Structure 1
Amino acid sequence: MIWLVAFLSCIGLICAEAPFNHNVHNERVIGGHNAKPNTWRWQVSLQYDSYNDGSYYHMCGGTIVGNFFIMTAAHCILSIDPSPYRVVVGEYNLYEYDGSEQFRRVERIIVHPAWNEDLAKGNDIALLKLATPVYDNGYVAVANLPYPGQMLPHGFTCYITGWGLMDNIGTVPAILQVAPINVVEHSVCSRPEWWGSIALRTMVCAGGDGIISGCQGDSGGPLSCFTDGAWRVHGVVSYGPAGYCNQVSKPTVFTRVSSFQDWMYSVMQSV
């Protein structure tokens, strides 16, 4: 779901014979590997029931930012009606019920007011308010966030996680994937041979080595970086190149969380 131009809906459906219908439409981390269980505890799977029949599709990632709130990408929101969505926290293997999961209905969707469905204009961020809170069962955690306005230096290593495509032939993972990915500073990412003028300062670029990238299904998920003594979510997967996801000089682009914290805190205090 991180194409530059086309917003992807379901590119794949994988039915799992397990409780709660672990059906998946995935964007996967390319160049990654299976994450260790119970490590990226703020990662969520945002799922959608297209036909109102109880069969859910993994469509995007997300991040726990409060007991009642999930952060994701605005372009993941296919409908402002919250009823077809659910959030799964404590998830690891999408095909199996591990006993660590918590399933939550979405009560309200708040998309950034400046989002206009043009990825190049930025503001690709949304908050989901849950009908009931998530709780600490040992497998979930509220994410730490960066300082407002904080930017990462060129070459800083962060980690991308998700259940998106693992390669350019459409291989879909069952287990959460993780990969190290290096930040590309704005002065580089905004060069014409990179992303040019559509790489904004309100975005974080990472990757572009032709090896590691996000891909369809990773949208909305976190860019996790160890800064200031803690793991913090600095980015929300937003877009990448159409076609092959892992292209040289076309890094994965994330919404920069530190640019939107005032808005996030205002929403979480008012709804």
Structure 2
Amino acid sequence: MELALLLLLVVKTVSGCGVPTYQPNTSRVVNGEEARPYSWPWQVSLESFFPTCGGTLIAPNWVLTAAHCITFHTYRVVLAEHDMNKEEGPEQSIMVEKMFIHPKWNDNCVSCGNDIALLKLEKSAVLNDKVQLACLPQDGAPLAHNQPCFVTGWGRLYSGGPQATTLQQALLPVVAHNVCSQSDWWGSSAKTTMVCAGGDSKSACHGDSGGPLNCKGRDGKWYIEGVTSFVDGRGCNTPQKPTVFTRVASFIPWISEIIAQN
């Protein structure tokens, strides 16, 4: 009986998602700030010869990122990373075994959508208080206009500015599709398979690609609702050009199929 109880506890812990041990500081984010260490425990750094993108741990051996991030043959992910310039102790570095880019992705047309990829890791991450899984939304789940979500990553602090060395977070309210697709916003570049969030003074920036748009559900858990895809060519903080994310809820069948078959 004790063995059965132990196994149940282990399974329950592994299947849990979206509940950080270290709660993120979400009370006073304006234009972005350094995140509380390990408060986004599913955030990964995707690295080839150097850090290139972000990603999200959605299963112990699966990471979700952007298709446009995959330009090299060999990658590793680093989990429990906070300060890029320091070896802080809890980091886990795991090589990527297989890469699955969405079959409809066209690297000559980012605004055509399908900017999503799955990475199968060589071994499972060790889940602990600093490495945890994000929850995936339900297939087709909607997001409300102005719903508060957070982008996280080590991207540039502003257009043309320095790359962040510590993990940053910024509050990006969701911009509804019927607003984002207006002609003086993103127009036809904003697809229903995308999520627009932020705009004006708050946005993702170069280097944040592939990382998560974290939105808190009614159940109190954090869901990865978006994968950071693109910003306006004129700059990261262009008014009426919010950051555009791949809408994860539009790709749940594809994600489920890839994981089930591999």
With the shorter chain as reference, the TM-score category is 0.7 to 0.9
- 1:189 is matched with 180
In structure 1, C-alpha distance between the alignment counterparts of 2:164 and 2:191, rounded to whole Å: 31
Compare relative contact order (CA 8 Å, sep 6+) and give the higher one, 1 or 2: 1
Q: Of 199, 207, 213, which aligns to 2:203?
A: 213
Structure of larger gyration radius:
2
- 1:99 is matched with 89
The two structures have a TM-score, normalised by structure 1, of: 0.83
Deviation at 1:116, TM superposition (A): 1.3
CA contact (8 A) 2:60 2:127 kept: no
The residue identity in structure 1 corresponding to 2:113 is G
In structure 2, C-alpha distance between the alignment counterparts of 1:125 and 1:45, rounded to whole Å: 16
RMSD: 1.3
Is structure 2 residue 107 aligned with structure 1 residue 114?
A: no
**Identity over aligned pairs, percent:** 45
Unpaired runs of 5+ residues, structure 2, are 1-29
In structure 2, C-alpha distance between the alignment counterparts of 1:89 and 1:153, rounded to whole Å: 30
Is structure 2 residue 36 aligned with structure 1 residue 36?
A: yes
In structure 2, C-alpha distance between the alignment counterparts of 1:184 and 1:126, rounded to whole Å: 24
Deviations 1:99-135 (A, max 9, x none): 1110000110000111111111100000000011101
CA contact (8 A) 1:100 1:137 kept: no
User: Per the alignment, in what secondary structure is the counterpart of residue 138 of structure 1?
Assistant: coil
The two structures have a TM-score, normalised by structure 2, of: 0.86
The residue identity in structure 1 corresponding to 2:178 is S
Deviation at 1:172, TM superposition (A): 1.6
Q: Of 46, 49, 57, which aligns to 1:64?
A: 57
Is structure 2 residue 163 aligned with structure 1 residue 172?
A: yes
CA contact (8 A) 2:163 2:207 kept: no
In structure 2, C-alpha distance between the alignment counterparts of 1:31 and 1:165, rounded to whole Å: 13
In structure 2, C-alpha distance between the alignment counterparts of 1:217 and 1:31, rounded to whole Å: 17
In structure 2, C-alpha distance between the alignment counterparts of 1:113 and 1:247, rounded to whole Å: 31
> Which consecutive segments of 4 or more residues in structure 1 shift more than 3 A?
none
CA contact (8 A) 2:149 2:171 kept: yes
Is structure 2 residue 47 aligned with structure 1 residue 47?
A: yes
Please show how residues 1-271 of structure 1 align to structure 2 within 5 Å: 31-49=31-49, 57-79=50-72, 81=73, 84-117=74-107, 118-208=109-199, 210-229=200-219, 230-271=221-262
Deviations 1:16-42 (A, max 9, x none): xxxxxxxxxxxxxx9210100120001
Unpaired runs of 5+ residues, structure 1, are 1-29, 50-56
In structure 2, C-alpha distance between the alignment counterparts of 1:43 and 1:33, rounded to whole Å: 16
User: Per the alignment, in what secondary structure is the counterpart of residue 226 of structure 2?
Assistant: strand
In structure 1, C-alpha distance between the alignment counterparts of 2:51 and 2:148, rounded to whole Å: 27
In structure 1, C-alpha distance between the alignment counterparts of 2:53 and 2:113, rounded to whole Å: 18
CA contact (8 A) 1:31 1:166 kept: no
In structure 2, C-alpha distance between the alignment counterparts of 1:127 and 1:225, rounded to whole Å: 20
Deviations 1:178-220 (A, max 9, x none): 0111100000000010000010000000011x21100100000
